[in-house]
Each structure stands twice: as C-alpha cells, then as structure tokens.
Amino acid sequence: MKKLFFPALFHKAEEGGFWISFPDFPECLTEGDDIEQAYEMAVDALGLCIEDRLNAKETLPEATAPDCVTIEDNSFLIVIEFDQLAYRKKHNTKTVKKTLTIPEWLNEEAISRNINFSQTLQEALLAKCQV
C-alpha cells in the first residue's frame, strides 16, 4: 500500500467555509466550515472514492499535475495526501477467519504458555509486511 496524492480545489462558499471538488474524481465533493475541517473532510471523501473504485475493480486515474488544473475565482488548489494503509486501519475493522496448520508440539507449547494465537499471527504478519 502506498500514499497517493491528488489535487483538490477548495472553493470559498458564499455562506462561509469551503466546498471541495477533485478534478480526477468528479463524483467526489465535500465541505468544511474552516480550512482545517475542509482538509480533513477532503481526505475522508477522497478515501471513500478511492476505496469505492478499488472495491468495484476500477483502476484509479493518474493524478492531474497541479499546474494543469484550472483554478476558478475564489478557489485555490491543495494537493491531498491519501495513505491507503492508514485509511484501511481506521475504517476496516472487519475480521476474517483463517485456518492454519502448525506442528503438534508447537501447538502444545503455545497452549501451555497461554499464547493468544490470533494476536501472535497478527503481530507476525504486521512485522512480515513491515507495517
């Protein structure tokens, strides 16, 4: 998993705050009352769009270069960083059951030491995946 970067246009809203659009994701719109909230909402909205496209087996668009984006009046461009791994850790807490095989002697030794098999496997996989 890697970090992705996509340009976002922050438009000043008449009623205050900002609304955000993404040139590479026309279906992706969000808003925020101030710049901090708008940025956080932009990250979340981008994450939803990216995950929806990946779940639908669609390819993601190449990010438009910031200098190729047309900026309208009362708007400015910010490049949004999206960390797929961090997003999935935060939003995907679904668990899956795995069946595995280990030597009997190792099973008995682990049980005698009250080792939690699920936790140990998760820790080993995180270390192996370097996350």
Tell the burial category of 20 from Cβ atoms under 10 Å away from its Cβ (0-12, 13-18, 19+): buried
- Distance between alpha carbon 119 and the CA centroid of its chain, in Å? 24
- The domain spanning residue 45 has which CATH number? 3.30.160.250
Residues 6+ apart with CB under 8 A from 34: 17, 18
H or E, element range at 19: strand 18-22
Say yes or no: 73 and 28 in one domain: yes
Q: Rounded CA gap, 98 and 44, in Å?
A: 30
Say yes or no: 71 and 103 in one domain: no
**How many CB atoms are closer than 10 A to CB 37?**
14
Distance, first Cα to last Cα, the chain: 10
Q: Rounded CA gap, 25 and 106, in Å?
A: 51
Number of domains within the chain = 2
Say yes or no: 8 and 72 in one domain: yes
Say yes or no: 35 and 79 in one domain: yes
Say yes or no: 57 and 111 in one domain: no
The predicted model scores a pTM of 0.70
Q: Rounded CA gap, 47 and 91, in Å?
A: 10
**Domain housing 15:** 3-91
| Res 1: pLDDT | 56
Q: What is the pLDDT along the chain (131 residues), one digit of tens a residue?
A: 588 999 999 999 999 999 999 999 999 999 999 999 999 999 999 999 998 999 999 999 999 999 999 998 999 999 999 988 887 787 776 788 888 899 999 999 999 999 998 889 888 988 898 77
Say yes or no: 47 and 108 in one domain: no
Say yes or no: 23 and 56 in one domain: yes
